[in-house]
């Protein structure tokens, strides 16, 4: 329909959850993946053959720093962000317009500016804005459990949590009422520290911790809206509120013997 190649069409449909109308609209609006550079360069070279007598100009001399100096006083370096599987879909001009509109309208967004980046954007309205330690402190102060989501930007299933689960209103309501939600990228310093301490190996990753002790109570890897609501409801019915009688750091249940 849109004149895209088969590989581009498959990527667009997969990213749009097989919604044909949305995939076609986003492709026509400029959200499609560019074709392979080798094809375009070959076409250009075929269209404009170089004359035999043309001589390439000499490369000008320049001086650059190959290796940046180490930071002073042991300041930590920032990690280079990993390339996301959705970088090919991104339209940075549209994203800039969208952010400017959000600032002007106080969060209201024109639906015409919806892109794949919007579909898979993190749940900023749910997330705790701080470190792992501040999230634990916030959970203790508000008597809420700590929910952790480690995001791998190169894993499509991780991105689907943002698109399908964290955007659901029922999920948002139950998280706001009972949890401090902390989402972090797996290749960030905080993410790497969490992965090493809790021995994380599989993605997607969602867990619930006791903010007082840091003990991991449950861990999930495959979630949709229905299974998430069932799992969280079961967890709350078993452990109750953080300050309740049943939520003292959970231990294995043992039968009480009648005296």
State pLDDT tens for residues 17-31: 888 888 888 888 765
Q: Which residues pair with 216 in a beta bridge?
A: 209
* Closest C-alpha to 211, from 132, 140, 123: 140
Token representation of residue 159: 């991105």
Angle 58-61-67 (CA atoms, 0-180°, nearest 5)? Answer: 135
**Rounded to whole angstroms, how far apart are CA atoms 259 and 255?**
12
pLDDT digits (tens, 9 = 90+) for 31-81: 545 444 444 444 445 555 555 567 777 777 777 666 555 544 444 444 444
CATH 3.40.30.10 residue ranges for the chain: 122-239
Residue 105 CB partners (closer than 8 Å, separation 6+): none
The model's confidence at residue 154, banded by pLDDT at 50, 70 and 90, is confident
**Which pLDDT value is given to residue 53?**
63
**Which pLDDT value is given to residue 67?**
56
* 145 vs 66: which has the higher pLDDT: 145
Q: Reply yes or no on whether the pLDDT at 160 is more than 80.
A: yes
**Which pLDDT value is given to residue 258?**
59
Instruction: Report the range out of 6-10, 85-89, 213-217 with the highest average pLDDT.
Output: 213-217
For range 155-179, the mean pLDDT: 91
The model's confidence at residue 226, banded by pLDDT at 50, 70 and 90, is very high
**Which pLDDT value is given to residue 93?**
57
Q: Reply yes or no on whether the pLDDT at 175 is more than 90.
A: yes
pLDDT digits (tens, 9 = 90+) for 1-13: 778 888 888 888 8
**Which pLDDT value is given to residue 81?**
47
**Which pLDDT value is given to residue 153?**
79
**Which pLDDT value is given to residue 108?**
53
Instruction: Give me the residue label for tokens 């102060």.
Output: 141
* Closest C-alpha to 146, from 118, 183, 193: 183
CA dihedral 43, 45, 46, 47 (to 10 degrees): 80
CA atoms within 13 A on the CB side of 5: 7
CA dihedral 102, 190, 83, 175 (to 10 degrees): -50
The model's confidence at residue 207, banded by pLDDT at 50, 70 and 90, is very high
CB 82 within 8 Å of CB 153: yes
Q: DSSP readout, 178-192?
A: HEEEEEEETTSHHHH
**Which pLDDT value is given to residue 24?**
84
**Rounded to whole angstroms, how far apart are CA atoms 237 and 219?**
17
Residue 202 CB partners (closer than 8 Å, separation 6+): 221
**Which pLDDT value is given to residue 117?**
66
Residue 94 CB partners (closer than 8 Å, separation 6+): 30, 113, 115
**Rounded to whole angstroms, how far apart are CA atoms 189 and 179?**
23
* 95 vs 238: which has the higher pLDDT: 238
Q: Reply yes or no on whether the pLDDT at 236 is more than 90.
A: yes
Instruction: Report the range out of 10-14, 115-119, 172-176 with the highest average pLDDT.
Output: 172-176
CA atoms within 13 A on the CB side of 213: 11
Residue 176 CB partners (closer than 8 Å, separation 6+): 126
**Rounded to whole angstroms, how far apart are CA atoms 119 and 160?**
9
CATH class of domain segment(s) 122-239: alpha beta
List b or e across 8-32, with b for residues whose CB sees 16 or more CB atoms inside 10 angstroms. Answer: bbebbbebbeeeeebbbbbbeeebb
């Amino acid at each position: 329909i849109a004149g895209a190649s088969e590989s581009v069409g498959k990527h667009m449909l997969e990213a749009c959850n097989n919604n044909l109308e949305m995939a076609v609209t986003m492709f026509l609006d400029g959200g499609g993946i560019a074709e392979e550079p080798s094809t375009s360069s070959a076409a250009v070279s075929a269209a404009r053959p170089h004359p035999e007598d043309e001589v390439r100009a000499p490369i000008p001399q320049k001086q650059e720093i190959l290796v940046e100096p180490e930071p002073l006083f042991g300041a930590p370096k920032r990690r280079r962000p990993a390339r996301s599987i959705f970088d090919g879909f991104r339209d940075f001009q549209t994203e800039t317009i969208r952010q400017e509109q959000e600032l002007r309208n106080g969060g209201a967004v024109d639906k015409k500016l919806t892109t794949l980046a919007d579909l898979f954007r993190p749940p900023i309205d749910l997330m705790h804005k701080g470190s792992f330690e501040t999230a634990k402190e916030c959970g203790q102060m508000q008597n809420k459990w700590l929910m952790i989501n480690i995001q791998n930007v190169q894993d499509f299933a991780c991105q689907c949590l943002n698109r399908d689960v964290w955007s659901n209103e029922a999920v948002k309501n139950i998280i706001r009422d009972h949890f401090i939600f902390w989402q972090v990228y797996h290749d960030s310093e905080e993410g790497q520290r969490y992965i090493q301490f809790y021995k994380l190996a599989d993605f997607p990753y969602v867990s619930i911790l006791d903010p007082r002790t840091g003990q991991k109570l449950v861990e999930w890897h495959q979630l949709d809206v229905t299974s998430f609501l069932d799992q969280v409801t079961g967890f709350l019915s078993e452990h109750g509120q953080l300050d309740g009688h049943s939520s003292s750091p959970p231990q294995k249940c043992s039968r009480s013997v009648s005296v």
